[in-house]
Structure 1
């Protein structure tokens, strides 16, 4: 079932099993606001356990594994994909409070990267301990910690 993320009335729907559900909901709402403001796009998620949501979560897991040998230990709860301005954005929200997105510009030579964001109150997971993390403030998500790496392969 598709869930349109509301960034004015933040909900934990679909994230209830997370120990940091409220912070993760804020992080998800922050992403929804970004896409609405920048691209006038609606951010909708699907459960990552079946159907299209599972395909999206598997795609992100494949990119992480093939690019850097990273396997996220925490289960994926929700996934989303947006295709705006020639860029495919695939997001996965994990039970631990980690959000992973793959930005993939379709044109040759365009930007391609994996971004990681942590919900407030979450330490970086062991599998991402080698990354340096920057902080940013968000009215919806409190303090977000983020990192990224450039994607070299074709996906």
Structure 2
């Protein structure tokens, strides 16, 4: 069942098993607010078990591009297109959020972004490979983020 993410009344719906559920819910709400304000898009997620194609798509890009395999269990995912850009998100039990930005038109931006929920440790699979910048969010506290550019075609 899909869940429309509310960035006014932040809820841990679907994220309850995460040890940083409140922070992860804030991170998810932060993304929802961004898409509503920038694109007037309603950010909707569904349980990862029901969004297998999205989870597999993100996992394939991570594996092909950087030989990365995320150990944490995916909890929720979403995939949508706005303004010619396909966005795929997976939210993991550890508090990690991974998004894939993929411009449909050739020559556009294509990247994978990582965001760490406030209070979580950097996952071992990312620790020595990426540097994380910090940003403050009213909804999510301190978010640490990093990214890499996608070189292949997906």
Give the TM interval when normalised to the shorter protein: over 0.9
Counterpart of 2:67?
69
The ranges of structure 1 where at least 4 consecutive aligned residues each deviate by more than 3 angstroms after the TM superposition are: none
Does residue 18 of the first structure (1) align with residue 18 of the second (2)?
yes
What's the counterpart of residue 79 of structure 1? 77
Task: Please give the per-residue CA displacement for 1:102-152, whole angstroms capped at 9, x wherever unaligned.
Answer: 000001010000000000011110100110000000000000000000000
- The total of aligned residue pairs comes to 153
Match of 2:153 in 1: 154
What SS does the aligned partner of 1:19 have? coil
**SS of match in other structure, 1:56:** helix
TM-score (norm 2): 0.98
Does the CA contact (< 8 Å) of 1:47 and 1:54 recur in 2? no
Aligned partner of 1:114 in structure 2 is: 112
What's the Cα RMSD here? Answer: 0.5
Query: Could you list the per-position Cα deviations for residues 10-57 of structure 1 after superposition, in whole angstroms to 9, with x for gaps in the alignment?
Result: 00000001000000000000000000000000000010013xx11101
Give the deviation of 1:82 after TM superposition.
Answer: 2.1
8 Å contact from structure 1 (residues 57, 92) kept in 2: yes
Question: What TM-score results when the alignment is normalised by the length of structure 1?
Answer: 0.98
Aligned counterparts of 2:77 and 2:71: Cα–Cα separation in 1: 16
SS in 1 for 2:108: coil
What is the distance in 1 between the residues matched to 2:43 and 2:80?
7
Name stretches of at least 5 consecutive residues in structure 1 with no aligned partner: none
